[in-house]
Amino acid sequence: MVSDKRSGKKLVLMILAGLMGISLCACGGMGSTAVSPDNDTVQETEAGNTDKAPDVSKNDETETVDIEKSEIKEETEASENAEEWKELMLDAVDEKLQTCFDNNEDDEFDELAVYIENSSFELLYIDDDDIPEVYVRPASGMMDGTSILYLNGDSIGSYDIGWSDSVSYIEKSGIICLYHGMHVPVQELIMTFPEEKDLGHGAFSEPGWYDGEDHSIEGSDMEYMWNDEFVSEEDYNKNKDDLFKGDIHVAGEEKSLSYEELMNYLGE
């Protein structure tokens, strides 16, 4: 009888031990599970808490594509602007030459083609961009339209030099010096370009100094101004020298272009 009771107790103990083992295995399995990186790279470090690692590779690829598209767009727009500028300049040069020819009184140039052939041009870099200005010196001389053509927004502007013997500038400084010689009251003018702000000038003090017969001066003195104030000749020259430090270029004395060469540069 006792033996049967002991056998019953052993059976109960074995069943309890088995249940406890199953419980421990279940708890141990829930403590930490890992899923292969091929399945979205999920790791569970605590029961019921999962973190998904961020996938940055797709974002990097998208950003790279966007940057490349932006660069291509900028290059395309720059190319289109360059072509547009050249087309505008082509038209402006032709219009300027036609106007000069129409006003020409020199019998030597009785045909437009001959007039154009004897005109000269030069590329200047006065302002701070990479688009050159075009210096136009027509065949019939200074009074018939010597000018500087420049890009002004979405059109071409023209600064008519007239009786200027020379135009000097420092590249990309935005400042030019016009020397008119003895032809007009303002002998020398220093100004910003293309704004045409007068920085300083030297001029004859009295009107009527010019004699059309022999180009002589009728006893007029020179007066100098700098920033709208009268200065001595010495101070004027000092200010001018301080302003024009560097490699000074003179229009018309460097690489002149023929009409054909200018058209080739502008893409005609």
Looking at the structure of the chain, the number of domains it has is: 2
Q: Is the pTM of this model over 0.95?
A: no
Domain presence at residue 93: yes
Tell whether 227 is covered by a domain.
yes
Above 90 in pLDDT, residue 89?
yes
pLDDT at 140 exceeding the cut of 80:
no
How would residue 62 be classed by pLDDT, with cut points 50, 70 and 90? low
What is the per-residue pLDDT for 107?
Answer: 76
Domain membership of residue 47 (yes or no) is no
Residue 183 within any structural domain of the chain: yes
Q: Is residue 178 domain-resident?
A: yes
Mark whether 118 and 91 lie in a shared domain. yes
Residue 131, in any domain of the structure: yes
Q: Are residue 113 and residue 213 in the same domain, yes or no?
A: no
Lowest-confidence pick of 98-102, 166-170, 217-221 = 217-221
Residue ranges making up the domain that contains 199: 172-246
Q: What is the DSSP string of the chain?
A: -HHHHHHHHHHHHHHHHHHHHHHHHHHHHHH-EE--TTTTTEEEEETTEEEEPP--HHHHHHHHHHHHHHHHHHHHHHHHHHHHHHHHHHHHHHHHHHHHHHH---TT--SHHHHHHT-EEEEE--SSSSSPEEEEE-TT-GGGT-EEEEEETTEEEEEE--S-SEEEEETTSSEEEEE-TTSSSEEEEEEETTT--EEEEEEESSTT-B-TTT--B-SPPEEEEETTEEE-HHHHHHHHHHHT-S-EEEETSS--B-HHHHHHHHT-
Whether 263 is in a domain gets the answer yes
> Residue range 69-87: average pLDDT?
63
Residue 28 lies inside a defined structural domain of this protein: no
Kindly indicate the confidence band of residue 21, based on its pLDDT and cuts at 50, 70 and 90.
low
> For 151-178, what is each residue's pLDDT tens digit?
999 999 999 887 667 899 999 999 999 9
pLDDT, position 151:
95
